[in-house]
Amino acid sequence: MPAFLDSVTLAAAGGGGGMGALLIQLFPFILIFIVFYFLLIRPQQQRVKKHREMVEALRRGDEVVTAGGLIGKVTRVADGELTVELAQGVRVKVVRQTISEVRARTEPSRSRRDDDDADDSDEDARG
């Protein structure tokens, strides 16, 4: 009789292992899944979330690096793609998701009202 049938016959003859034996057999697999989750799956999900936020926050004037290693400045932002100026007069369209890094962010432009308020506060300080 083959060896694997011997173990099956012995297990069937022992009979009363029940739920406890099943849990003991499944414990290593559960432990491996937990380790994989915290060491592989969760960090990858966090990286994807961080990249998605970075790509959504792109705006005109940001200096970016594409997945292909091209470095340029964003000149136009559309829904799913960007226009990146690599050199003076050299512009390429890239898909948003291919941006791998933002090297320099531009400051948001101040509105006219903010400029007027700043001028008023300067005059108040002088007078």
For the cut 90, the answer to whether the pLDDT of residue 17 exceeds it is no
Q: Where do we find the tokens 């009979």?
A: 15
pLDDT computed for residue 56 by the predictor: 93
Taking a C-beta distance cutoff of 8 angstroms, is the pair 73, 85 a contact?
yes
Beta bridge partners of 93: 83
- Other C-beta atoms closer than 10 Å to the C-beta of 34 total 10
Total-model pTM? 0.62
For the cut 90, the answer to whether the pLDDT of residue 13 exceeds it is no
Taking a C-beta distance cutoff of 8 angstroms, is the pair 104, 95 a contact?
no
Residue burial 76-113, b: 16+ Cβ < 10 Å; e: rest:
eeeeeebbbeeeeeeeeebeeebbeebeeeeeeeeeee
31-35, 47-51, 76-80, 110-114, range with the lowest pLDDT: 110-114
